[in-house]
Structure 1
C-alpha cells in the first residue's frame, strides 16, 4: 500500500508542476507598494494577467476590503456578458481598457481620501480557476493652510501674535521661522487638521519683525512659507523741529514741524501756545506743520506745544521760541563784518608769528656765525703770541753770539715793538667782534 501511495504522490507532483508551467502570471507590477496617490486626481490600480497554455480569462472582478475584513464588490467584467459596477462605485470607477479580460487595471476617476485601503483583483480563468492579486492604496491630500496674524498693542500681557492652520492627509507639520522671543503651542485633530499658535509679550521694538509659518508635508518638495511681519501698535513720540535759535523780527517763511513716530501714524496734530492763543497769521496744517504766514514780530515768541494722536494714545512736545529785534539785513551785515574782521585778525596773527619765527632764526644764525669768527680770532691771537715769543727767544739766542753789545738791545726792542703792534691790532678786532655780539644779543 505504501509504495502505491508514493507512486500516486509522485504523479500528483509531476501533474502539478505541469499545470504550473501551463498557467499564466500577473505582469506590469507597480513600482511601489503601497501605491500612493493624490486626492482629486485619477488613480490607476494595475492588474494585467497573462495566461498561457489552454487557459482563457472569462471574468475579472475588483473588491475593496472593509474595516471588518469583509470584501465589497466594486466592478466586474465577463468576456460575453460585459461589465457591471456596483452601488456608488458606478460613478467613481471604470476599467482602464475596453477589453477588461485582457487588461484588468482599475481607474478611480476622482480619488478621495475614503478610497484609501486594500484592493483585490480576481481573475477567473478556464479551466485553471481563479487567481488573485492584492494591493494597498494610500491617498494624500495637498495641505490647505492659512495664517491668521494678530495686531498687538504695546503694554498688553502675554498673548497670541499669530495662528497658523493647515489640513491634509496625512496631517502636516507646522513650525515658525522668527527671531522673536516667544512660545509656540501645537494642536491636532483626527481629521488631519493641525494648528500652531505663537505667543509673546508685545514691545514696540518687535514691530515689523519676521514671524513666518512653515508647512511641511510629503506632497511638498520643501516647506511652504507663509510670510508675515508682526504688527505692534504704540503711542506717538512727538518732537518739534524748525527752530535753531536764530529767529528775528522781519524773518519770513518761518515754520515749526511736529515730527512724530508711533504705529499707526498719528491721525491728528494740535498746536497751542502756552499761556495764550496762537498769534494772528500763524496757521496749523493737518500734517503737523505750523506756518507763520507773515514776517515775524516780537509778539511771536513764547512756548509752543504740539500734541500728536493716534488710535493708541498721544505724545506731546514743547519748544520755547525767542524772537530778537535784529532785522535780517542788519544781522546779515553784522555776521559778514564779524567774519571779515575775524579773518583779518587771524591773518595778521599768522603773519606776526611767521615774522617772529623768521627773525628769531636769523638772529640765531648770526650769533652762531659771530661765535665761530670770535673763536677763530682767539685762536689766531694765541697763535701769533706764541710765534712772537718763539721769534724773540730765537733772535736773542742767535744774535748774542755774533753781535756787539750795542746792537743786541736795538734788535730786541724792534722785535718787541712789532709783536706789540700785531697784538694790538688783533685785540682791537676782537673787541669789535665782542661789541657786535653784545649788540646782536641785546
Structure 2
C-alpha cells in the first residue's frame, strides 16, 4: 500500500511539473493560426520553438488532422536519426531549415486543392515534454476561364451572342465589357464553376464591336479580360463605279468596277448586259468589267452586277451611253486656259504693283511741294513784316507834332482817299455832291494848320503812290484795320508785329 501511495505522489508531481512548464514558440505566436495559399504555388507553414536553459528539442513532427479526428503523419525529424517523409507527401514536402529541431517550418512545394485543411506541428523536448501549434490552411485556385462566341446573321431574332465560363476557388465573378445593347445572365455550377451569357438582337452595324468577358477573383490584382468581337453575317450591297462619265466611241481601256460589302466577303461576282451576254471584247477580271478594245457605239446598254456570299446576294445596274465624240475639252485646251489664266493673273499683279508705286511717288511729291510752299509762305510773311516795319519807321519826327498823332493823320488821309476812290468806281460817271470836308475847285486854299508837319520828298512820293493805288490800299486797310472810337486800329493776326507809336516793337 505504501508503494502504491508513493507512485501516486510521483504521478501527481509529474503532472504538476508539466502544467507549470509553458512552451515558448517564436512563430506562430498564437496556438491556432489561419493561412491562405494559392494552388500550384509553394506554401510555408511556420513552426519555430525557442528552447529554455537546460532544455533540448528531441524531435519535430508534422501531422494533418483529418475530418474524422485522426491524424495523418507527414514528416518527422529526430535530432540523431534525421528526417523521414510519409505516404503521399514523400517528395512534396520538406523542412525549411537545415536543422529541423531549431527551425521546424514546413514547405509544401506545389500546393494542391487537397492540401487544404488543419495541420499540427508537434515538438518533443527533454525534460519538459511535448508542445504543439495548430495551423488552418485555405487553398485558393486561380480561375480557369474561357469564352465561346456565337456567329450571328442579320435578321435573326433575339438570341445568345457569347458565353463565358470560369472555375476557381473561391468561385469567381463574371461580367461583360461592351457598348452593345443586350442582356446578360449568370449561373453558378457545382464545383465552383460559374457561367455568364450575353444575348442581343443582331444587326450588321454590330459586326466587329467589342464584347469582352471580365473575370473577377480575390487572387487576382485586377480582373482578367477575355477579348472578343461580335461576328454578324449579312448579305452584300453592290455598287458600280467608273473613272469617267464621258463614254465615247474610240475610248481606250474603258472599265466598270463592281464593289460590294457584306460579311463574309462575297465569293461570286457576275456581270450581264440587259440580262444577257456581254458584248464581244468585254471580260470580267475579279470585280471589274474590262473592255479590251476601243469602245463602240453598240456597247451602250444597261450593265448589271450581282454579288453573292453564303448569307445572300446583292445586285445593281449601270446605264452606259456611248456617244460619237467626247463632250469634254482636250488636254491642250485645258493647258491653254491654264496659261491664259496665269498670264492674266501676272498682269493684274504687275498693274497693282505699278499703281502702288505711282501712288507712293505722288504722295512723296505732294509732301515735298507742301513743305516748299510752307517755306515760301513763311519767307513772304517775313518780307512783308520787314517792309511794314521800314515804312512805319519812315514817318516824320517833327517836334511840333507827336509821332502817334502824325501816324494817325496819315493813315486817316489814306483811308479817306481810298473811300473816295471806291465811291467813284461804284457810281461811275454819275454826279455826286461834293464832300463838305474837302476843298472845292475855285475856293481859296485853306491855310495850313500850324501843327501840320512839312512833308518831305519821300512823303510826297508816298502820297503819289497812294493816289495811284487807292483801291489796293483800301482793300488792305479793310482787311487789316478797323475803327474804334474814331481811331483806326489793326485787326489781331497770328503773324502780326505790333509797333508802339514811338517805333518800339510790342
Residues 245 and 85 of structure 1: is their aligned pair in 2 closer, same or farther, counting only changes over 3 Å? closer
For 2:247 and 2:255, how far apart are their aligned partners in 1? Answer: 11
Residues 71 and 259 of structure 1: is their aligned pair in 2 closer, same or farther, counting only changes over 3 Å? same
Q: Quote the residue 1:258 is aligned against.
A: 258
* Contact 2:18 2:129 (C-alpha < 8 Å) held by counterparts: no
For 1:136 and 1:112, how far apart are their aligned partners in 2? Answer: 15
Residues 297 and 76 of structure 1: is their aligned pair in 2 closer, same or farther, counting only changes over 3 Å? same
* Contact 1:59 1:79 (C-alpha < 8 Å) held by counterparts: yes
For 1:138 and 1:94, how far apart are their aligned partners in 2? Answer: 19
Please, which moves more after superposition, 184-193 or 23-32?
A: 23-32
1:126-137 alignment, distance < 5 Å: 126-137=126-137
For 1:36 and 1:204, how far apart are their aligned partners in 2? Answer: 49
For 1:226 and 1:392, how far apart are their aligned partners in 2? Answer: 124
Instruction: Tell me the TM-score normalized by structure 2.
Output: 0.60
* Contact 1:245 1:322 (C-alpha < 8 Å) held by counterparts: no
Please, which moves more after superposition, 391-400 or 49-58?
A: 391-400
Query: What is the total number of aligned residue pairs between the two structures?
Result: 342
For 1:394 and 1:124, how far apart are their aligned partners in 2? Answer: 168
Q: Quote the residue 2:288 is aligned against.
A: 289
Q: Quote the residue 1:322 is aligned against.
A: 321
Q: Quote the residue 1:433 is aligned against.
A: none
For 1:33 and 1:50, how far apart are their aligned partners in 2? Answer: 18
User: Cα deviation per residue 1:187-239 (whole Å; 9 max; x = unaligned)?
Assistant: 22232222222111111111111111222223322122222221111110011
Instruction: Tell me the TM-score normalized by structure 1.
Output: 0.68
Q: Does 1:395 align with 2:430?
A: yes
What's the Cα RMSD here?
3.4
Shift of 1:166: 1.9
Residues 390 and 111 of structure 1: is their aligned pair in 2 closer, same or farther, counting only changes over 3 Å? same
For 1:35 and 1:91, how far apart are their aligned partners in 2? Answer: 22
Report SS of the residue matched to 1:168. Answer: strand
Residues 18 and 233 of structure 1: is their aligned pair in 2 closer, same or farther, counting only changes over 3 Å? closer
* Contact 2:275 2:304 (C-alpha < 8 Å) held by counterparts: no
1:214-363 alignment, distance < 5 Å: 214-242=214-242, 244-285=244-285, 287-326=286-325, 328=326, 332=329, 336=333
For 2:19 and 2:66, how far apart are their aligned partners in 1? Answer: 37
Shift of 1:30: 8.2
Q: Quote the residue 1:109 is aligned against.
A: 109
Residues 201 and 103 of structure 1: is their aligned pair in 2 closer, same or farther, counting only changes over 3 Å? same
For 2:201 and 2:423, how far apart are their aligned partners in 1? Answer: 112
1:151-170 alignment, distance < 5 Å: 151-170=151-170
Q: Which of the pair is proportionally richer in helix?
A: 1
Q: Does 1:36 align with 2:71?
A: no
Report SS of the residue matched to 1:41. Answer: coil
* Contact 1:56 1:125 (C-alpha < 8 Å) held by counterparts: yes
1:81-160 alignment, distance < 5 Å: 81-160=81-160
For 2:96 and 2:145, how far apart are their aligned partners in 1? Answer: 34
Residues 397 and 164 of structure 1: is their aligned pair in 2 closer, same or farther, counting only changes over 3 Å? same
Residues 222 and 334 of structure 1: is their aligned pair in 2 closer, same or farther, counting only changes over 3 Å? closer
For 2:17 and 2:127, how far apart are their aligned partners in 1? Answer: 14
Residues 79 and 391 of structure 1: is their aligned pair in 2 closer, same or farther, counting only changes over 3 Å? closer
Shift of 1:102: 2.6
Shift of 1:59: 2.6
Report SS of the residue matched to 1:311. Answer: coil
For 2:198 and 2:330, how far apart are their aligned partners in 1? Answer: 66
For 2:202 and 2:158, how far apart are their aligned partners in 1? Answer: 7
Report SS of the residue matched to 1:305. Answer: strand
For 2:61 and 2:18, how far apart are their aligned partners in 1? Answer: 27
For 1:92 and 1:43, how far apart are their aligned partners in 2? Answer: 11
Please, which moves more after superposition, 87-96 or 222-231?
A: 87-96
For 1:70 and 1:388, how far apart are their aligned partners in 2? Answer: 160
* Contact 1:240 1:259 (C-alpha < 8 Å) held by counterparts: yes
For 2:233 and 2:164, how far apart are their aligned partners in 1? Answer: 21
Residues 29 and 333 of structure 1: is their aligned pair in 2 closer, same or farther, counting only changes over 3 Å? closer
Report SS of the residue matched to 1:143. Answer: strand
Shift of 1:333: 5.5
Residues 280 and 107 of structure 1: is their aligned pair in 2 closer, same or farther, counting only changes over 3 Å? same
User: Cα deviation per residue 1:228-284 (whole Å; 9 max; x = unaligned)?
Assistant: 221111110011110653101111111000011111111111000115321100011
User: Cα deviation per residue 1:271-328 (whole Å; 9 max; x = unaligned)?
Assistant: 001153211000111x2100011111111000000001111111100111100111x5
For 1:87 and 1:128, how far apart are their aligned partners in 2? Answer: 30
Residues 394 and 182 of structure 1: is their aligned pair in 2 closer, same or farther, counting only changes over 3 Å? farther
Q: Quote the residue 2:174 is aligned against.
A: 174
**Greater Cα radius of gyration, structure 1 or 2:** 2
* Contact 2:33 2:134 (C-alpha < 8 Å) held by counterparts: no
For 1:298 and 1:196, how far apart are their aligned partners in 2? Answer: 65
Q: Quote the residue 1:187 is aligned against.
A: 187
